[in-house]
């Protein structure tokens, strides 16, 4: 089974890291069979599984439930689980909820959005011996404050602040960092500014790895697919299925073929 140290070693070796979301046992088996490096039980389940228009209604009980069933099915991939909205602003509450995801959700590490005001919560979780994955750029849990799903970090000051935040997260012990919907050049800059793996979603090909919502890359999500995603299933020859689509994604990430320019922002 892959460890956090294994994922970190991949950055040092120059090997791209392939991550997808999963929310149930069956899809988890497909991801593991295809050689995915890590699985994210994302609060994106609020939109693609529960039918909400944002991640905000997702609860701790939801995350524990989905994390536990993914953990039961995975055999090789590292498992990362989101702490949902309003569950980590207070350091003591954050520590308790992170413990629940580790103990009840059986995950390997927890993911939190942002820096600044939540640095103390992150530090408290890490001091409790729980690994943390950070998340900068577009923060879906802060979508109301951001005014919509928009590319972040285009202005120089905002880009510089994001680099500073990435360094701050690394300095307190964050082990992996996700950056979402930022210019490709900024994704490259952040990846080169820290020693921890930087995983992009709409952040350009020069990040250390990529993550997508599984339903998006299988063409299952209703409505318009995000620009930064790609439907890997429909491009397969007839008779090929989910495992082959995930394997194609893994290969495209590893080779640097994905994301291409059309999946990135400037």
Q: Which residues are catalytic?
A: 180
Q: Tokens 């005014």 appear where?
A: 147
Contacts by 11-15 with C-beta closer than 8 Å and gap 24+? Answer: 11/195, 11/196, 11/197, 11/208, 15/254
Q: 228 vs 168, 197, 219, CA distance in Å?
A: 27, 19, 13
Q: 123 vs 49, 98, 182, CA distance in Å?
A: 31, 12, 25
**Nearest alpha carbon to residue 79 among 123, 34, 48, 110:** 110
CA atoms of 64 and 196, how far apart (whole Å): 26
CA angle 264, 140, 106 (to 5 degrees): 105
CA atoms of 107 and 64, how far apart (whole Å): 9
**Nearest alpha carbon to residue 111 among 79, 87, 81:** 81
């Amino acid at each position: 089974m892959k460890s956090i140290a294994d994922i970190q070693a991949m950055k040092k070796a120059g090997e791209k890291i392939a991550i997808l979301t999963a929310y149930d046992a069956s899809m988890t088996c497909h991801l593991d069979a295809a050689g995915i490096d890590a699985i994210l039980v994302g609060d994106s389940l609020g939109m693609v599984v529960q039918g909400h228009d944002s991640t905000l209604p997702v609860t701790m009980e939801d995350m524990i439930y989905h994390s536990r069933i993914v953990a039961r099915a995975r055999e090789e991939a590292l498992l990362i689980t989101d702490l949902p909205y309003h569950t980590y602003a207070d350091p003591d509450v954050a520590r308790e909820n992170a413990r629940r995801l580790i103990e009840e959700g059986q995950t390997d590490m927890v993911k939190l959005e942002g820096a600044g005001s939540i640095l103390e919560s992150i530090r408290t979780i890490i001091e409790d011996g729980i690994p943390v994955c950070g998340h900068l750029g577009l923060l879906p849990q802060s979508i109301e404050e951001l005014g919509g799903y928009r590319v972040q970090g285009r202005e120089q000051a905002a880009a510089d602040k994001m680099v500073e935040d990435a360094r701050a997260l690394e300095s307190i012990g964050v082990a992996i960092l996700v950056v979402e919907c930022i210019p490709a050049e900024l994704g490259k800059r952040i990846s080169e500014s820290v020693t921890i793996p930087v995983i992009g979603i709409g952040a350009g090909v020069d990040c250390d790895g990529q993550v997508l919502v599984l339903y998006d890359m299988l063409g299952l999500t209703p409505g318009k697919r995000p620009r930064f995603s790609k439907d890997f299933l429909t491009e397969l020859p007839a008779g090929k299925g989910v495992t082959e689509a995930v394997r194609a994604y893994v290969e495209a990430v590893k080779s640097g073929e994905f994301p291409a320019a059309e999946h990135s922002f400037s």
